[in-house]
Amino acid sequence: MRPVTPWLLLSLCGGLPLAAQDPPPMPDMPGMRHDNGMSMPIPMPKGMVMLPGLVGLLPGVSSFLPGEGVNPSGLPLARASEITPLKSGDTLELTAQLLRRTINGKTFVMYGFNGQVPGPLIRVAQNATITVRFHNRIDLPSSVHWHGVRLDNRFDGVPGVTQEAVPSGGDFSYTVHFPDAGIYWYHPHVREDIEQAMGLYGNMLVDSPDPTYYSPANREQALVLSDLMIHGDTLIPFGREAADFALMGRVGNVTLVNGEPEYALTVKRGEVVRFYLTNVASSRTWNISIPGVPMKLLASDVSRFEREERVPSVVLAPAERYIVEARFSQPGRYPVVNAIQAIDHYRGEFIAEVDTLGWVTVDAAVVSPDHGSAFTTLKANAAVSAEIARYRPYFGKAPDKRITLTVATNALPLTTVQFMSIDTAYFHPVEWVDGMPEMNWLSTAKQVRWILRDDSTGAENEAIDWHVKRGSVVKLRIFNDPKSFHPMQHPIHLHGQRMLVVSRDGVPTANLVWKDTVLIPVGSTVDLLIDASNPGEWMLHCHIAEHLGAGMMMTMHVGTP
């Protein structure tokens, strides 16, 4: 039963005044100082105060930043991502390395692939097979996971499951086959909370042989969305022994598109731009739009939608991809924004927040050819529907597997426990930003264990041992428990397979698409149909990097037919 606090009852009955009062002043403490002059080790949302009981506390881990002891001046300056076309049979040398990056005028030591952030955009034809020789030259063990690609299990890049971690200075050769057209991404599967956040990510764009696969566009743009937590001249360090920000994941205070704080694009009047959106942030879910510019949704993780549709904005949970087209019909300057409703937990209010991620400038010169007519047409993708039709007989079957998403904690600061035990009257379906970053920062993966619990056996996380036949269609029901200690959304990712979201909270999905990552809001029950066609041992996990680091992962064995 949901707790009803005596304090809340008293408040509503007039026992306590609810008039606004200023919070108490914060005592000074050594270390970084917040802009408001109060001591604050991490950036706080505007107007939010630190709980007095947490002032002066530090996470129970030592701190880590890339390149400790390295002279930054000797490191190469990060370059923008370069498109790298590869033919089947080609080999790519891919090196993870230390780099210098300048963000908002501040220089930091971070990571990148081949000197680039994002890493090289690998462009291949559907059904191509390439070799990637990975060289780990960073100061942590690493690997490369080919997110969303239904490849040979040996090359999935998961230490402890498909390979050993590649030590610093080590190498590993991956064979990557691309059976599906679309936009994918690669990233390490070791300490994602550090390595991915510090710049180890890149796209793979897989082209269909069908030139009419998407509606026509004048231009393509890959937008890789991420964020960083920066205070003054300093990156907020990471937990060395275990992830910090374990409760909610690290939500940065600086948003980045393609590794830069401001995206810029100039187009001609009437241009149709196809945007390939990828969310590589550790925890942030985005709501992207270009006010005044119509957008058409084409595809997501592993396929096109059954039907193109107009959308006012694009919601992307961590690791999700969406492909949209936008038509810029009038000259002018248009912001690309992330617009969300934050919660001020202190005042119990919603706050509209708009991050301007960049600008699109539209020239007066008219584009040629004009794809305006095709843009206004919403295409039905009969081939997608026809393929999905083979799976419809399974839509109504009882779930084969059931998972509940929850969390267990121990030894959190008393104030954190007290606050989270009473702030239970409402949970946002999606926490777009971190309203309590100091509380979140102090929680580490030593104290927080995020849980995938098998409803039928009670087994949790890595103790879950699922075996399914190759070629079977598995219905998985996932319930995100709203009564856990910290209810929040989870983007659940399944490696090496594809899946359909057939219903949410009992409501059938109207426009289907093949996915590899699915957002599960607080309190929701989502039915997934997994096309278990790719043999091997595959991970299923939450793609909030800190939740993965705090145990929220399991494996599914896809065996012989």
**What residues from 324 to 343 belong to the interface with another protein (CB under 8 A)?**
339-341, 343
Q: Which residues contact 198 (CB under 8 A, 6 or more apart)?
A: 66, 110, 111
Per CB under 8 A, does 395 bind another protein? no
Cβ distance to another protein smaller for residue 193 or 431: 431
Collapsing DSSP states into helix, strand and coil, what is residue 441?
helix
CB contact at 8 A, 48 and 346: yes
Mask: binding to another protein, 396-425, rule CB under 8 A, as x and -? ------------------xx--xx--xx-x
Per CB under 8 A, does 378 bind another protein? no
Collapsing DSSP states into helix, strand and coil, what is residue 115?
coil
Q: Shortest gap between Cβ of 78 and another protein (angstroms)?
A: 31
Per CB under 8 A, does 354 bind another protein? yes
Dist. CA 344–CA 501, nearest whole Å: 32
**What residues from 469 to 488 belong to the interface with another protein (CB under 8 A)?**
482, 487
Q: Shortest gap between Cβ of 72 and another protein (angstroms)?
A: 38
Which of 305, 441, 450, 538: binder of another protein (CB under 8 A)? 305
Per CB under 8 A, does 163 bind another protein? no
Which of 432, 450, 479, 514: binder of another protein (CB under 8 A)? 432
- Long-range residue pairs from 455-460, CB within 8 A, at least 24 positions apart, any chain: 455/402, 455/403, 455/404, 455/479, 456/401, 456/402
Q: Shortest gap between Cβ of 392 and another protein (angstroms)?
A: 18
Cβ distance to another protein smaller for residue 247 or 520: 520
Which of 71, 333, 373, 426: binder of another protein (CB under 8 A)? 426
Q: Is the dihedral of CA 235, 241, 245, 248 positive or negative?
A: positive
CB contact at 8 A, 487 and 523: yes
Q: Shortest gap between Cβ of 179 and another protein (angstroms)?
A: 23
Sheet of 171-177, strands arranged across: 106-113, 91-103, 129-137, 171-177
Size of the site for another protein (CB under 8 A): 80
Taking the chain, what is the end-to-end CA distance rounded to the nearest angstrom?
Answer: 44
Which of 107, 131, 221, 313: binder of another protein (CB under 8 A)? 313
Cβ distance to another protein smaller for residue 387 or 423: 423
**What residues from 11 to 70 belong to the interface with another protein (CB under 8 A)?**
11-13, 16-21, 23-24, 49, 51-53
Which of 523, 533, 535, 537: binder of another protein (CB under 8 A)? 523
Cβ distance to another protein smaller for residue 191 or 543: 543
Per CB under 8 A, does 6 bind another protein? no
Q: What is the dihedral of CA 154, 158, 163, 168, to 10 degrees?
A: 130
**What residues from 498 to 517 belong to the interface with another protein (CB under 8 A)?**
501, 504-505, 507, 510-511, 513
Per CB under 8 A, does 294 bind another protein? no
Dist. CA 347–CA 196, nearest whole Å: 34
CB contact at 8 A, 207 and 126: yes
Q: Residue 223, CB half-sphere, CA atoms under 13 Å: how many? A: 32
